[in-house]
């Protein structure tokens, strides 16, 4: 893996290029050198930025590596579940279906690991308001909703 794979600008260009793969089979994070498999190409720039942010935020490299790995795994899992379930088709005026509950479990894990609402919205491909609306319907016994602003459901 060359140094260019650690450059978020290069990753963004690569993800937007015509004929670019949707999934990167194997990728190593630029700061912590963590191995990630089947990473959605559109998440690579954000994962590279997040590695730098976590390294600056957490002085202990072992703790930083663990935090980064958990957040990165949550975001990649969210992207896979969202692609499989199509959250845009959820009807928010009806009781949650099994697919919506499955997405809610992964949403709860992502918030528990400290992923931001913006990162979760990016991974799911849904606006933040819709992420919060789905979370309110599917995540129980957590206080993550009180920690974020309640955007308009869109």
Of residues 115, 118, 122, the one with CA closest to residue 54: 115
- Tell me what pLDDT residue 93 has: 87
- Tell me what pLDDT residue 29 has: 86
**Block mean pLDDT (10 aa), the chain, length 154:** 58 66 85 89 92 92 94 96 89 89 92 93 94 86 62 51
- Tell me what pLDDT residue 11 has: 63
DSSP reduced 3-state for 19: coil
Q: Write down the domain spans for the chain.
A: 3-147
Cα four-point dihedral sign 86, 88, 92, 94 = negative
Residue 37: enclosing H or E segment and its boundaries? strand 35-40
- Tell me what pLDDT residue 152 has: 53
Among residues of the chain, what percentage have pLDDT more than 70? 78
Does residue 103 contact residue 125 with C-beta atoms inside 8 Å?
no
- Tell me what pLDDT residue 78 has: 96
pLDDT digits (tens, 9 = 90+) for 87-113: 888 888 888 999 999 999 999 999 989
- Tell me what pLDDT residue 144 has: 66
- Tell me what pLDDT residue 49 has: 93
């Amino acid at each position: 893996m060359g140094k260019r794979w650690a450059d978020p600008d290069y990753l963004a260009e690569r993800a937007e290029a015509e004929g670019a793969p949707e999934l990167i089979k194997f990728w190593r994070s630029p700061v912590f050198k963590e191995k990630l498999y089947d990473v959605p190409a559109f998440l690579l720039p954000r994962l590279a930025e997040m590695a730098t942010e976590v390294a600056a935020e957490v002085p202990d490299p072992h703790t930083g590596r663990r935090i980064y790995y958990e957040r990165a795994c949550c975001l990649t899992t969210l992207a896979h579940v969202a692609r499989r379930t199509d959250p845009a088709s959820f009807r928010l005026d009806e009781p949650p279906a099994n697919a919506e509950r499955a997405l809610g479990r992964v949403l709860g894990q992502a918030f528990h690991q400290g992923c931001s609402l913006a990162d979760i919205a990016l991974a799911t491909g849904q606006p933040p308001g819709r992420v919060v609306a789905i979370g309110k319907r599917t995540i129980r016994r957590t206080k993550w909703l009180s920690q974020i602003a309640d955007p308009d459901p869109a």
